[in-house]
């Protein structure tokens, strides 16, 4: 029986954007809330990681983002870039 009501205040734009994505998936906001709550119960916690990254992780994230910005012309250039060598 589905008679409990859950209310949440969110930005209208966020709700509209999420509804567009969910519509493509054939889901409603209510469906996602129901699925998420079922996963919380099944996992006895959130169904995704929620944590503040430590300094080592922050550095790794920044390095990965920096590497993603560039494109390499060859595998040699890629490996030189990974080794910290300057690339043209």
Over residues 47-87, the pLDDT tens digits come to 988 888 899 989 998 888 877 766 778 888 878 878 876 54
Name residues whose C-beta falls within 8 Å of residue 53's C-beta, 6 or more positions apart in sequence.
Answer: 61
Percent of the chain with pLDDT over 90: 51
Residue 2 sits in the same domain as residue 42? yes
Residue 23 sits in the same domain as residue 56? no
Residue 55 sits in the same domain as residue 40? no
More confident residue, 21 or 79: 21
* Separation between Cα atoms, residue 8 and residue 68, nearest integer Å: 36
Residue 57 sits in the same domain as residue 84? yes
pLDDT at residue 31 is higher than 70: yes
Range of the domain at 13: 1-49
> How many domains are contained in the chain?
2
**pTM, rounded to two decimals:** 0.55
């Amino acid at each position: 029986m589905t008679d409990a009501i859950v209310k949440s205040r969110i930005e209208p734009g966020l709700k509209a954007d999420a509804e567009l994505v969910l519509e493509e998936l054939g889901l409603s906001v209510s469906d996602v809330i129901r699925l998420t709550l079922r996963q919380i119960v099944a996992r006895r916690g959130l169904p995704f990681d929620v944590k503040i990254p430590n300094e080592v992780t922050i550095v790794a994230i920044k390095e990965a983002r920096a590497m993603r910005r560039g494109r390499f012309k060859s595998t040699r250039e890629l490996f030189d870039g990974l080794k910290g060598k300057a690339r043209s």
